[in-house]
Structure 1
Amino acid sequence: MQHPPTAGAAIALRSLTKRYGGHTAVDGLTLEIARGSVCGLLGGNGAGKTTTIGMIMGLILPTSGEARVLGADMATDRHRVLGRMNFESPYVDMPHRLTVRQNLDVFARLYGLKDRRARVAALAAQLSLDAFMDRPAGALSAGQKTRVALAKALLNSPDVLLLDEPTASLDPDTADWVRGLIEDDRRARGTTILLASHNMAEVERLCDRVVVMRTGRIVADGTVASLKARFGRDTLEQVFLDVARGTGNDSMEETAA
């Protein structure tokens, strides 16, 4: 059963809705994500994940309802908390002609970091960027771009981190390394993470809780173990397919209740 969000939640959505003309992309989401937790946001293409993340970031205005991050309404007061949150996606490129160092310095300036050179140097060492810090961003491999994107997302030591397919297009070894970095940062700083991913192994490893969307609504919500048990499945991928197709041992209406 969904409950109204509380002031203590890092991310709180109440009846969040977004319509584009006659199409409802997000339909009345009510959800709260506890501080310091990792929540997976799953769903097929067109389920409403990207629109939801856009509203959480304050980039998309909801048609109705509200999205709050650290207590601030992201439609009206996002300036209060933007410095305490960040976003990472391998699908968002940095300026190709700037070097990695220049890119990170620009973002550090935008984030208002006082000791930006020291922060960039620390992240370069942590994420093993030193070998290509002076290389143009457009000349990097997929794995290198992902590490730089993660460095950008961690520059301001965010309290809330939104991750969209953080290891897409990476080989298994590099992807495992990046997931380890995410886990280490979360443990060290208590970061609240919302992870959108189609990699079910990644979700199982990183997430305390999984929320699955279909046609703009939440249709499954629980721990990985509880969702497997509810749907009578051995893997999260099987659960995902059941929800996406509207099949399985547990109806979507019961799951959302």
Structure 2
Amino acid sequence: MTEHNNAFTGSHAIVVENLSKSFGDLKAVDDISFSVPTGSTTALLGGNGAGKTTTLSMLLGILYPSSGAIRVLGRDMMQNRYAALSRMNFASPFTDLPRRLTVRENLTVYGRLYSVRKLTDRIKELADHFEFSDFLDRRYGKISAGQQARVALAKALLNRPHVLLLDEPTASLDPDMGDKIRSYIEKYRKEEKATILLASHNMPEVERLCDNVLMMRQGKIVDTGAPQLLIERYGLQNMEDVFLKVARDSDGMKGNVKAVMGLIKEDGGKAVKRKR
């Protein structure tokens, strides 16, 4: 993989059409369609088992869809995913790096996989930003969960990705470090014109970082819109209340599910209906 500096110029960095994934009789993702505008941050929300992780795994090429299409940075992820993967990255505090390697060794290995230029300087820069310079030479398996989360995010930023997929990036962090990480993510998106897809259960984080929200339930996208739009639509006070209503109140969701069943894609938070 090679580090890229040329920005993607298309209007939507991620385009998903009629995507499904089944595991035997279980339909983990059920015919979802959405797009993420280039340079924006979109939240992928839902309770446990909603299909978020499966969707992220298909976007990364880890899982093949049962049906549907994915384009990232203009590349068909079924036919030519390696051309896009070199310009993408992923972070999750729930995905381990090699535990016997030191933090520095881990970052060096991944940096070389991405052919990162001036890798030593890049590692130092990220270690300074995320405050782990003092344990760069400690084994990854010997540092705390919060420290591992910071290292995982640094790993995901080594190649200055144009598309960044984040799964609960601040879940293991204390409030102070979580705030610093969110500030860095905001700064990175603006400076690099990066596109971010964020799976999170931290609703204040979603309100702060995200331009658009995709609400998933039982493998389907059941509602979508900007955070403030969703708050107003449900007549609630914040995104946490919206999240709980979607997760708990199946009757309250029936009208919204019916409304979005005719959608074929999500365009900047505005639903585009199927032509008849």
Bucket of the pairwise TM-score, normalised by the shorter protein: over 0.9
Q: Which residue of 2 aligns with 1:251?
A: 255
Shift of 1:134: 0.9
Structure-2 separation of matches of 1:167 and 1:123? 16
C-alpha distance in 1 between matches for 2:134 and 2:91: 22
Write the deviation string for residues 9-65 of structure 1: whole angstroms up to 9, x where unpaired.
100000011111111111111101000000000001111111111111111111111
1:142 aligns with 2:145: yes
Q: 1:107 and 2:110 equivalent?
A: yes
Contact 1:231 1:248 in 2 (8 A): no
Q: In the TM superposition, what are the counterparts of 1:177-196 in structure 2 within 5 Å? A: 177-196=180-199
Q: TM-score, normalised by structure 2?
A: 0.87
Structure 1 contact 41–210 (Cα < 8 Å) conserved: yes
Q: Does 1:160 align with 2:163?
A: yes
Q: Structure 2: give runs of 5+ residues left out of the alignment.
A: 1-9, 263-276
CA contact (8 A) 1:9 1:35 kept: yes
Contact 1:231 1:249 in 2 (8 A): no
Give me the whole-angstrom Cα distance separating, in 1, the residues matched to 2:190 and 2:254.
Answer: 34
CA contact (8 A) 1:89 1:164 kept: yes
Q: What amino acid is aligned across from residue 94 of structure 1 in structure 2? A: L
Match of 2:54 among 47, 51, 60: 51
Shift >4 Å, 4+ stretches = none
Unmatched 5+ residue regions in structure 1? Answer: 1-6
Aligned to 1:35: 38
Could you say which residue in structure 2 is the equivalent of 1:122? Answer: 125
The whole-number CA distance in structure 2 between the counterparts of 1:171 and 1:147 is 11
2:73 to 70, 73, 90: 70
Alignment of 1:151 with 2:191, yes or no, is no
Q: Please state how far the C-alpha of 1:247 moved relative to its aligned partner.
A: 4.2
- One-letter amino acid of the structure 2 residue matched with residue 253 of structure 1: V
Amino acid corresponding to residue 146 of structure 1 in structure 2: A
User: Contact between 2:246 and 2:253, CA under 8 Å: does it hold in 1?
Assistant: no
TM-score (norm 1): 0.93
Task: Output the CA distance in 1 between the equivalents of 2:194 and 2:225.
Answer: 20
RMSD: 1.5
1:3 corresponds to: none
| Count of equivalent residues | 251
